[in-house]
Amino acid sequence: MIMLIPAWFSAEAQSYEKGVSKELAEWRANRITNIHYDLTFNVPLDTKAVLDGTAFITFYMNEKTEVVLDFQGTIPEFCLVNGKKRRVVLKNEHIVIPAKQTKQGLNSISIDFKSTDKALNRNAEYLYTLFVPDQARSCFPCFDQPDMRATFNTQLNLPKEWNAIISESNYPIPTYLYSFVAGRFKEKKGQREGYTIRALYREQDPQKVEQIETIFDQVGESIRWMESYTGLKYPFNEFGLIILPGFQFSGMEHPGAILLTDRRLFLGSHPSQDEQLSRMELIAHETAHQWFGNMVSLKWFEDVWAKEVFANFFASKITRRHFTKIDHDLNFLMTYQARAMALDRTEGTHPIAQNLQNLNHASLLYDDIIYDKAPVMMRFLEEIMGPKQLQAGLKKYLVNNYFKNASWDDLIETLDKQVPSAGIRQFSDIWVKQKGMPIIHTTYQDGKLIVSQKDPYGRGIFWRQKFDIRLIYDLDRSRTVTIDMQQPTVTVNIGNRPSSIIPNYDGRGYGHFTMDDYYTQRLALRLIVTRGDLHRFALLLTLYDNYLMGRIPASYFGELYRNMTKEKNPLIMKTALSHMFRIAFDRPQNERQTLEQCIMDLLPENKTAECRQAIIRQMAPNATSPDVLNQIYKIWSSHSDPLFNEHDYMEMAYRLAIMRPTQWSEIISQERRQLKTDQLREEFDYISRGCTPDKQEQHKLFNAILKAENRPHEPWALALLRLLCADVREPDNNAYITSSLNSLQRIQESSDIFFATNWLNALYGHHKSQEALQDTEAFLKKHPDYKSSLRNKILVASWLLKNTRERISQEKGQKQNKK
């Protein structure tokens, strides 16, 4: 028999690359099964002391071959292999047990270890582990890949008065879903849908702690919905929640030990509609993961998006059931579609499905394409299959892969068999495996409405989708035409020429919706007379996209203003305000200040509390107008408006301190005195340093947070960076661009999965100078072979800066042509 030897194989174990290559992962998964970890961790009170422990690992092998474990920490010279003392070597993050020490059948390894701090989020009074996507190996020796499921038994030796939650131990899960949390936490339990829900938290505000009952209710509601939809009971024994201050994600779905950020769960006394929706969506998202992601897991992390698409898709449906009075089609556009388009319109976009050769690059896969474009795709998929057929297909997928691992292609095979006539494979090949979005152009010609798609990348593909177009003839006559794009061009006989056309009237379409200039210039005028919240919101998105494309002038700000004086829907108001501020930000400083005052003038015009709240939240961190700052100062100094929570007032203080440098110390001291908990004071003390007017101190702070050890809570570090990169500090803070880009790979490697993206967003969010763009372009030109995934993130984050400069140049050219 001839045995093929993998290219990376070496008897001396010299050639295993760092991380977990796809080749190594496949080789191991084909040979090793029935893994069990018996883990002991000794958790010191001193956060600088090393966390150590012992791992006793058992597993079955279908042949006698070497064993490769993954580990980034340190180990002693010897371990026990099948009960015998053996010398071991740790090299390139791998512990290799030679074949002569293993056997076919049951094997065991017992090894002491010292963990790194990379995935141990350590604080003085608590710690939590976060191993996604490939960080379990930083804490203990393991087979750190998603398709090598294992059961776990865990012993935590903790400081006195610490309590803990450990992830599910009775069902096999991947290493990235294993977690433990320990510390000085308060605890609350509840019963919902026959399940015990346990919550650990550190919140001290009684009004917020009372909200845990609401959180339990929403967990129960989410479980009930998922059980009904899938026909399968909640797949685990326990439902544990840990609500963490300064948590770097929104949530992480560890079965039995779900980590959640306190900022999205504990709301102020007057939460906005958006905040209430956001909390429910987060709880529903993490609950849906228990079926899609935990019970059935991905085979390889290039399919990470597939577990996220189901979590968001079902979160949208569960939230729809809970909030019956909200327009959920509108909320879907705001929550998913607008965010997806914001990335998909940039040069840094990519397909939903991405290739991954080594797990140490898995963190680069995460962005708004996988979280937000994927649900848009799923909505179209449900439409072409039919809701009942999609549900039936997903049930089969879960049953066939119960506590196993599956790929997106496995699911597509199941769905294609469910509805062979739907063309599921072809749909997936375009929507999932191709990047970008189409340009969908509408024109009128000789009694016909012609709607055509164009692929901006010239690949000759088109995106199957369905949407409405509104035709307006006069004040009393209009009609809606449904466009079903099963081919690149659709022609509809409509007769007389409409006076106005609103493309994508229902918002279901996905792409750049353009029209001939005659209709484009009349589009903004339709905003004030468009009835129906969904239609008005969809029109907002179309107008803004055309503004960014340079097809609609900045003067459409006036139409936005007129509409917002009467707007009652806070979701529409929030989005419109962000568009209005973007227009203001793009203008010269004197015009910007005038437009900022126009936004603030909406306060007396619009009487709804939530809309007023949205206006202040938009302007408080961004204002430059002295008159606007005076208005914000009055609100902040009184500290008595119940519409605003502690973080709202903190944001006001940060901006006021930056804009009034001679008063900065007084403002920061006054705000600190208002804070009621040690937790808030600790956060404020860390972030507010960025308000200093001392330029040398600003540079020191920036250089400090380039290092991981100076980022105790990643969200705090990002908030500090945003202050250092404030718009009014240009051009001095342009120096941070090149420094950040030079350090980006190190930042990405030393942080959690979203941090590099969020760092770039904080870095570029308020830059608009030509120098900032030139520095970025110079870096990219100097590094033509820069890692493509990080290069794309730079292109995405800097896109609005580039877009602003292009439109400024376009406007100057138009003025010169008029002369």
The per-residue pLDDT for range 776-788, each reduced to its tens digit, is 999 999 999 999 9
Look at the block and give the residue holding tokens 């593909």: 461
- Residue 61 tokens read as 């092998």
As a whole number, mean pLDDT of residues 245-255 equals 96
Q: What is the pLDDT of residue 1?
A: 35
In one letter, which amino acid is 267?
A: L
Cis, peptide link before residue 731, omega less than 30° from 0: yes
The per-residue pLDDT for range 478-523, each reduced to its tens digit, is 999 999 999 999 999 999 999 999 999 999 999 999 999 999 999 9
Q: What is the pLDDT of residue 813?
A: 77
- In degrees, rounded to 5, the angle at the alpha carbon of residue 259 between the alpha carbons of residues 790 and 225 is 105
- CA neighbor of 374 nearest in space, from 290, 315, 460: 315
Q: Please tell me whether residue 234 adopts helix, strand or coil conformation.
A: coil
Q: Please tell me whether residue 243 adopts helix, strand or coil conformation.
A: strand
Q: What is the pLDDT of residue 42?
A: 98
Q: What is the pLDDT of residue 811?
A: 82
- In degrees, rounded to 5, the angle at the alpha carbon of residue 408 between the alpha carbons of residues 407 and 414 is 95
As a whole number, mean pLDDT of residues 626-652 equals 96
Residues 141, 75 contacting (CB under 8 angstroms): yes
CA distance 565 to 223: 41
Which pLDDT band holds residue 819 (cuts at 50, 70, 90)? low
CA distance 804 to 548: 8
Q: What is the pLDDT of residue 16?
A: 84
Q: What's 325-351 look like in SS3?
A: CCCHHHHHHHHHHHHHHHHHCCCCCCC
Helix (H) or strand (E) holding 669: helix 664-674
As a whole number, mean pLDDT of residues 415-423 equals 96
Burial class (CB in 10 A: 0-12, 13-18, 19+), 496: exposed
| CB within 8 Å of 367: residues ≥ 6 apart | 343, 757, 793, 796
Cross-strand pairs, 454: 439
Residues 564, 602 contacting (CB under 8 angstroms): yes
- Residue 742 tokens read as 């030079």
Q: Please tell me whether residue 798 adopts helix, strand or coil conformation.
A: coil
The per-residue pLDDT for range 166-184, each reduced to its tens digit, is 999 899 999 999 999 999 9
As a whole number, mean pLDDT of residues 580-605 equals 96
Q: Where are the alpha helices (DSSP H) in 419-480?
A: 424-431
As a whole number, mean pLDDT of residues 630-649 equals 96
Overall pTM > 0.85? yes
| CB within 8 Å of 51: residues ≥ 6 apart | 41, 42, 43, 44, 114, 115, 117, 120, 139
Does 407 have pLDDT greater than 60? yes
| CB within 8 Å of 774: residues ≥ 6 apart | none
- CA neighbor of 229 nearest in space, from 119, 387, 429: 387
| Pairing mode, strands 297-298 and 405-406 | parallel
Q: What is the pLDDT of residue 608?
A: 87
Q: Where are the alpha helices (DSSP H) in 374-516?
A: 374-385, 387-400, 408-418, 424-431
In one letter, which amino acid is 420?
A: P
**Residue-wise burial string across 138-158, b where 16 or more C-beta atoms lie within 10 A, e elsewhere:** bbbbbbbbbbbbbbbebebeb
Does 4 have pLDDT greater than 90? no
The per-residue pLDDT for range 83-131, each reduced to its tens digit, is 999 999 899 999 999 999 999 999 999 999 999 999 999 999 999 999 9
| CB within 8 Å of 819: residues ≥ 6 apart | none
Q: What is the pLDDT of residue 816?
A: 74
Q: What is the pLDDT of residue 12?
A: 42
Query: What percent of the chain clears pLDDT 90, i.e. is strictly above it?
Result: 93
Residues 770, 735 contacting (CB under 8 angstroms): no
Average pLDDT taken over every residue of the chain: 95
CA distance 226 to 234: 8
Does 725 have pLDDT greater than 60? yes
CA distance 700 to 458: 47
Which region holds residue 186: left if phi is over 0, alpha if psi is between -120 and 50, else beta? Answer: beta
Q: What's 612-631 look like in SS3?
A: HHHHHHHHCCCCCCHHHHHH
Q: State the CB neighbour count (10 A cutoff) for residue 457.
A: 11
Distances (CA, A) of 330 to 160, 359, 535, 599: 50, 37, 8, 23
Among 92-101, 451-460, 611-620, 802-811, where is mean pLDDT lowest?
Answer: 802-811
| Pairing mode, strands 126-129 and 180-183 | antiparallel
As a whole number, mean pLDDT of residues 225-246 equals 96
**Residue-wise burial string across 292-323, b where 16 or more C-beta atoms lie within 10 A, e elsewhere:** bbbbbbbbbbbbbbbbbbbbbbbbbbbbbebb
Which region holds residue 366: left if phi is over 0, alpha if psi is between -120 and 50, else beta? Answer: beta
| CB within 8 Å of 9: residues ≥ 6 apart | 15
CA distance 320 to 3: 55
Query: How far apart, in Å, do the first and last CA atoms of the chain sit?
Result: 83
CA distance 496 to 499: 9
CA distance 306 to 352: 9
Does 43 have pLDDT greater than 90? yes
CA distance 519 to 531: 19
Q: What is the pLDDT of residue 15?
A: 59
Q: What is the pLDDT of residue 528?
A: 85
Q: Which residue has the higher pLDDT, 141 or 475?
A: 141
